[in-house]
Amino acid sequence: MKFQIQRDNLLNSLQQIIGAVEKRQTMPALSNVLIKAGNESLSLTATDLEIEFVTSLNLLIDQPGEITVPARKLLDICKSLPVDSQMDITIKDDKAMIQSGRSRFSLVTLPANDFPSLDEISSNSEFEIPQMTLKDIIDKTAFAMAQQDVRYYLNGLMLEVGSNVLRAVATDGHRLAYCEKQTDFELADLKQVILPRKGVLELARLLDTSEDKVKIILGNNHLRVELDDLRFTSKLIDGRFPDYNRVIPDDGNCVMTAEREVLKQALIRASILSNEKYRGIRLILEDNLVRLQAHNPDQEEADVDIEVDYQGDNLEIGFNVNYMIDALNASTSETTQLTLRDSNSSCLLTYPDQPDCKYVIMPMRL
């Protein structure tokens, strides 16, 4: 195999797929990137057996072939070379010879046959959606995913696809983030899949805020997203996601309206002296006033008052301050609403100008 390529083109492709390459691998080939050179195209593939990236480039190839080379070493070589430099890559015996200007590198290779691939996806449903819409719905919910929870189905993002609607829900059992977007595709049946945490984070990294459409293919065990020159595939979590409709409260009669940024900064100030492990703060609602109180084992205390729009009964409730701040960071709206029923019930955080997003936070005993 032999070809020439611009350093910037190879670097961009490697940066797109490097997220699938784990540093510690039981299978040596998984540390490598699979390079396939056709007559007029070059494709790069990386996988960790949970997610897979395939990116392609139009390129005139001197000698077609396929091989795997160490992914991170190849990426570091590209980064170290000057911008706009040319790279000559030749595979000879079991070595990849890379030359650029007066720099020469020799990398150990593994046969392409050693490289594993994800099972072929069988399509159940296909639809297209703007990148901006998919990225936005992930950004507004993914932060609430669990991390290494024994309830494995919480360690991911639930995507629900129906006619003219796409919903995303994430929960770690202490909070829940819900967002839905209206779409222009029609599906016969409602489909629900759980995308694992790593797949969610890598997909969010790839997407941009353009109106360009991406194609989404739902299979029995996989989800695939196809961009112009990139194909992303992720295994799905096999499990039943909790019924989110039962978690979202709809009977609160204590409604507080506040400026989002003012409330967020007040929470940040109060959190400085909260318990570092449990991060609990007390929220006290009075007439047009909310008082935020925090204390820690060192007997230190914080007391922060802000003016809000509230005319209900006096109410006192405890929350994990980080959960509240995360929900406030998920929007750029000017105002936010907290809806509560009593001191022992979940809080519903919403935005008047974004009715399709809802955030539920469980109370804490302080």
Percent with pLDDT over 70 in the chain: 100
pLDDT at residue 24 above 80? no
Q: Is 152 helix (H, G, I), strand (E, B) or coil?
A: helix
With residues binned 3-state (H G I as helix, E B as strand, rest as coil), the percentages for the chain, rounded to 5, are 20, 45, 35
Position 120 scores a pLDDT of 81
Instruction: Let me know: does 364 contact 320? Beta carbons within 8 Å.
Output: yes
pLDDT mean over 217-229: 93
* Pairing relationship of beta strands 103-108 and 86-92 according to DSSP bridges: unpaired
Q: How far is the CA of 252 from the CAs of 309, 327, 339, in angstroms? A: 16, 18, 6
Q: How confident is the model at residue 321 (pLDDT cuts 50, 70, 90)?
A: very high
Instruction: Let me know: does 323 contact 175? Beta carbons within 8 Å.
Output: yes
Q: For the chain, which domains are there?
A: 2-114 (3.10.150.10), 123-245 (3.10.150.10), 248-361 (3.10.150.10)
Write out pLDDT tens, residues 323-335.
999 999 999 999 9
Q: How confident is the model at residue 315 (pLDDT cuts 50, 70, 90)?
A: very high
Instruction: Let me know: does 152 contact 129? Beta carbons within 8 Å.
Output: no
| Average pLDDT of the residues of the chain | 95
pLDDT at residue 123 above 90? no
Position 35 scores a pLDDT of 98
Query: CA-CA distance, 156 to 324, in Å (whole number)?
Result: 20
- Which pair of structure tokens corresponds to residue 85? 């430099």
Torsion of CA 351, 214, 169, 45, to 10 degrees: -130
| Radius of gyration, CA atoms only, the chain | 25
Write out pLDDT tens, residues 129-169.
999 999 999 999 999 999 999 999 999 999 999 889 999 99
Q: How confident is the model at residue 276 (pLDDT cuts 50, 70, 90)?
A: very high
Position 124 scores a pLDDT of 80
Write out pLDDT tens, residues 177-197.
999 999 988 887 889 999 999
DSSP state letter for 119: P
Position 319 scores a pLDDT of 97
Query: CA-CA distance, 254 to 217, in Å (whole number)?
Result: 43
pLDDT at residue 320 above 90? yes
Position 3 scores a pLDDT of 97
Question: What is the model's pTM?
Answer: 0.92
Write out pLDDT tens, residues 231-262.
999 999 999 999 999 999 988 999 999 999 99
Instruction: Let me know: does 302 contact 274? Beta carbons within 8 Å.
Output: yes
Write out pLDDT tens, residues 30-80.
999 999 999 999 999 999 999 999 999 999 999 999 999 999 999 999 999
Position 189 scores a pLDDT of 83
Position 190 scores a pLDDT of 87
**E strands of 86-236, at which residues?**
86-92, 95-100, 103-108, 123-130, 156-162, 165-171, 175-182, 191-196, 213-219, 222-226, 230-235
Q: Give buried/exposed letters for 1-12 (b at 16+ CB in 10 A, else e).
A: bebebebeebbe
Q: How many CB atoms lie within 10 A of CB 28?
A: 12
Position 59 scores a pLDDT of 95
Q: How far is the CA of 185 from the CAs of 52, 104, 216, in angstroms? A: 26, 51, 11
Instruction: Let me know: does 213 contact 227? Beta carbons within 8 Å.
Output: no
Q: How confident is the model at residue 230 (pLDDT cuts 50, 70, 90)?
A: very high
pLDDT at residue 25 above 80? no
